[in-house]
Amino acid sequence: MRWLPFQLNPDLPGEGIPRAEYIARKFGARGNTYERVRKVGETVGIPFAFDRIAVQPNTLNAHRLLHYADQHGRQDEVAEVLFNGYFTEGVNLTDIDALAAIAQRAGLDEAAAKAYLASDADRDVVANSDIEARNAGINGVPFFIFNRAVGVSGAQEAETLVDAMLQSMQPRKAANG
């Protein structure tokens, strides 16, 4: 499994914006509609704490950290700590020190990760991968691609994902017949 870049809000400034402002822009008078997600999280042991999120981030550097982690064989570990940090602790994903601490918690060298994030290394690679995903028709997360053949968009039941996996293993027909 690989985590590929896709930013939900690529047009946000690098430092992000206040979460309350983002919620007001996105949902208007309806307010925060994440209560359903929080309740579902409770049923599977994920203590979502959306109220702790102060900054709606531009996630380019978080995606760069995942790219860096992939190069060091720790991508799944970083993804787990990254998601936990953001959704349960309210970690500011625009803060390079916070991202470097996430790298350390996931088993990477904190100073090396911070130096990487402070540089422009792989910035274009990650940004271009995000653009490629959009050009391929991906417009939200989660989005799963199995065996480079079958795509599944959105949160799905396990049975749907298994069916897609099985379908992706079927022999492909040639493009001309």
Tens digit of each residue's pLDDT (9 = 90 or more) over 60-84: 999 999 999 999 999 999 999 999 9
Name every residue whose Cβ is closer than 8 Å to that of residue 32 and which is 6 or more positions away in sequence. Answer: 23, 50
| CATH code reported for the domain at 17-135 | 3.40.30.10
Structural domain spans, the chain: 17-135, 142-177
> pLDDT tens-digit profile of 108-135?
999 999 999 999 999 999 999 999 999 9
Percent of the chain with pLDDT over 90: 71
- C-alpha torsion angle, residues 147, 149, 154, 157 (rounded to 10): -60
pLDDT at 26: 86
For the entire predicted model, the pTM comes to 0.86
pLDDT at 71: 97
